[in-house]
C-alpha cells in the first residue's frame, strides 16, 4: 500500500483511541500494522474515525500519524474518560498530546493548502467553537 502524500485514512473504528476507563480500542487493527512498525503507511497524514462517542485528538511520541476521533455527535452514549490523555500508552507508543471532550457537537475540517496543516474546529450544536486544532503529518496542536 502506497498512499499519495497527504492522504487521509477514514475508518469507523479508530486505529488508536481510548474509551471508558482508559481502555485501548482496536488492538486488532494495531496488530495488523506490525508490518509498518505499528504505524499507518507512509503518506497518510491524518487518521479519522468515529465509533467512540466523544471527540478525541491524539498525537504520538514516535511521530506517527495523528488520530482524530469525531464521535461527539453521540456523547450521551459514552462512558466518561479523563480529558487529558497525554502520557497514556497506546499501540506501542506514548501519547505526546491527547485530549478528550465529552460535549455534544460536531467537527469541521479544512484540508491544508499545499504544504500546510489541516484545521479542525470542534463546535457545539449552535456552531460555537469548543476548541480547535491544527494537524500536521506527525503532530497536532490545539487550543
Shortest CA distance to 47 belongs to which of 141, 143, 121, 135? 135
Quote the domain boundaries for residue 67. 7-103
Residue 30 lies in a domain: yes
Q: Which residues contact 67 (CB under 8 A, 6 or more apart)?
A: 14, 15, 16, 17, 47, 48, 49, 56, 57, 58
Bridge partners (DSSP) listed for residue 24: 18
Cell of 49: 474515525
| Inter-residue contact 40 to 47 (CB < 8 Å) | yes
CA 80 to chain centre: 17
Structure confidence at residue 27 (pLDDT): 72
In a domain, 49, yes or no: yes
**Whole-number pLDDT of residue 58:** 96
Q: Is residue 116 part of a domain?
A: no
Structural domain includes residue 25: yes
Tens of pLDDT, residues 42-101:
999 999 998 888 899 999 999 999 999 998 876 666 566 778 899 999 888 999 999 999
Task: Examine residue 127 and state whether it is found in any structural domain, yes or no.
Answer: no
How confident is the model over 31-43, as a mean pLDDT?
81
Residue 111 lies in a domain: no
pLDDT value at residue 52: 84
Question: How many domains, in total, are found in the chain?
Answer: 1
35 part of a folded domain: yes
Would residue 135 count as lying in a domain? no
How far apart (Å, rounded) are the C-alpha atoms in residues 31 and 28? 5
Helical H runs in 1-143?
A: 27-32
Q: Indicate if the pLDDT at residue 23 is higher than 90.
A: no
Amino acid at each position: 500500500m502506497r498512499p499519495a502524500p497527504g492522504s487521509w485514512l477514514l475508518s469507523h473504528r479508530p486505529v488508536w483511541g481510548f474509551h471508558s476507563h482508559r481502555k485501548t480500542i482496536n488492538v486488532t487493527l494495531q496488530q495488523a500494522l506490525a508490518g509498518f512498525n505499528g504505524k499507518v503507511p507512509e503518506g497518510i497524514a491524518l487518521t479519522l474515525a468515529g465509533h467512540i462517542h466523544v471527540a478525541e485528538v491524539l498525537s504520538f511520541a514516535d511521530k506517527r500519524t495523528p488520530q482524530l476521533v469525531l464521535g461527539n455527535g453521540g456523547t450521551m452514549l459514552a462512558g466518561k474518560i479523563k480529558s487529558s490523555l497525554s502520557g497514556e500508552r497506546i499501540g506501542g507508543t506514548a501519547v505526546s498530546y491527547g485530549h478528550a471532550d465529552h460535549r455534544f457537537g460536531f467537527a469541521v475540517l479544512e484540508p491544508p493548502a499545499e504544504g500546510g496543516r489541516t484545521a479542525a474546529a470542534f463546535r457545539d450544536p449552535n456552531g460555537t467553537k469548543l476548541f480547535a486544532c491544527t494537524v500536521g503529518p506527525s503532530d497536532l496542536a490545539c487550543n
